[in-house]
Structure 1
């Protein structure tokens, strides 16, 4: 599906897409169910990520939810029917096991619970309204946070705090999440507004450099210590050889804004 600037369209009706100034806004549109995740929505989000990856015009994505909620996790009614809200490649919500090279910002209003929290953690940055809540309450329903929460939280928090969130299932508010470094911004207005401002700061930068930087930050914890430079070089060298690198240096010398080509 191709999107023109400013155009908004439905993908499988429950996911809305909008292209705004090079930023792909993806909105889960199930407000009556607090945007609980279904298989159809997961596959639609994964397809939107393919759109982001393949379009030279799109530089960044914002993932949010309609109606004052981000995502309340797995749709339990669907689960009782035997449905799992996963995409074959992207996992839960379409992005928990794969994301595009370009950055994704989660704009969180209201609850981001269970798989909703895992969905936000799968994004690269999180902006939240002050009334947002985060947690993995699966144990309260006899389930396990299998969408990445139990893996990601011990890497982001001290072990004791990650264990408390996992074993009690109790949520934390946006202010506490900010204190712990789990989110980037807290706002008293709609999270989407702050996310758009952050997205434009990213879009202003060289797209190749942004993609390489995301890849290094996200993947470097997997690299062997004695091969760190080798792994990083594979991402860095193509950027330094690119037209954008030359343009960035020239624009700085000429005291003007760079014109990125993504090559």
Structure 2
């Protein structure tokens, strides 16, 4: 039997593919544990800068495996949530490469990522209300931060999907690709990020993540120890030396 999650390294990028196309890549306990292990590897490995999450077989993810739910399976990890990332995303950036449907928990996985690259025929939806459920894996918390409030409200209350083109227009999706091209587009975006210092990238993400919940003064106080860490890093020295010597930097993530 094929692994339910396939993990591969592409230079400084860790590509994580949900591999249950026969179940539209629905998330069961095995998928959650495998994704959690993959993002732990991402955060712990100095020569990895970011991750990409995608789905096999033309579907990103149809959400929680309802058969498993009805059988009593817990598909969320304590403190980490659905897929091991919805409540506590990794420190390093994640890109969602979305083909087809990102539905229910699948949409919430995409929302837990920092950037989204979607095929032009992709769809995003949180239809839980249609089943008498609530989008409890972070969708209702993140949608109003990523979309205009009225659009987020309509999406959540009607349960009707948003197209990739609409999601791009509203700023939820970073880039739209031809059908079948989401992973290639995500890798191209990743290469533009991995050209930069990996430690600086992860700290930049951390500062941005907390920025909207703080005043400017609180933000300066919170970022000071993080910035000090960067200034004392080997990568900061390497970046400056490489610039002075007119050569590409060699990053170590330290």
Give the TM-score range, shorter chain: over 0.9
C-alpha contact (below 8 Å) 2:148/2:170 kept by paired residues: no
Deviation at 1:95, TM superposition (A): 0.4
TM-superposition CA deviations, 1:118-150 (whole Å, max 9, x none) = 000101111010010001000001100001010
* Aligned twin of 1:5: none
Deviation, 1:224, is: 4.3
Residues of 2 paired with 1:96 and 1:69: CA distance?
19
Match of 2:48, SS state, is: coil
Equivalent residue for 2:89? 99
Q: Which runs of structure 2 are paired with 1:1-263 in the superposition (5 Å)?
A: 13-188=3-178, 189-263=180-254
The whole-number CA distance in structure 1 between the counterparts of 2:85 and 2:72 is: 21
Offset of residue 173 of structure 1:
0.6
Deviation at 1:85, TM superposition (A): 1.6
**TM-score, length basis structure 1:** 0.92
Task: State the distance in 2 between where 1:159 and 1:103 align.
Answer: 25
Indicate the SS of the match to 1:19. Answer: strand
CA contact (8 A) 1:223 1:231 kept: no
Give the Cα–Cα distance (whole angstroms) in 2 for the partners of residues 94 and 19 of structure 1.
19
Structure 1 vs Structure 2 CA RMSD: 1.4
In the alignment, the residues of structure 2 paired with residue 190 and residue 129 of structure 1 have an alpha-carbon distance, to the nearest angstrom, of 6
Give 1:88 shift. Answer: 2.1
Secondary structure of the residue that 1:77 maps to in structure 2? helix
Cα distance in 2, alignment partners of residues 52 and 30 from structure 1: 22
2 CA distance for matches of 1:185 and 1:246?
Answer: 33
**Alpha-carbon distance in 2 for matches of 1:133, 1:197:** 21
Q: Which moved more, 1:245-254 or 1:184-193?
A: 245-254
Residue correspondences, number: 253
| Aligned-partner Cα distance in 2 for 1:155–1:196 | 25
CA deviation profile, 1:27-61 (whole Å, cap 9, x unmatched):
10000111011111111100111111111222211
The structural deviation recorded for 1:251 is 1.3
Q: TM-score, normalised by structure 2?
A: 0.96
Contact 1:34 1:71 in 2 (8 A): yes
SS of residue paired to 1:199: helix
Q: Which has the higher contact order (CA 8 A, sep 6+)?
A: 2
CA distance in 2, matches of 1:99, 1:257: 30
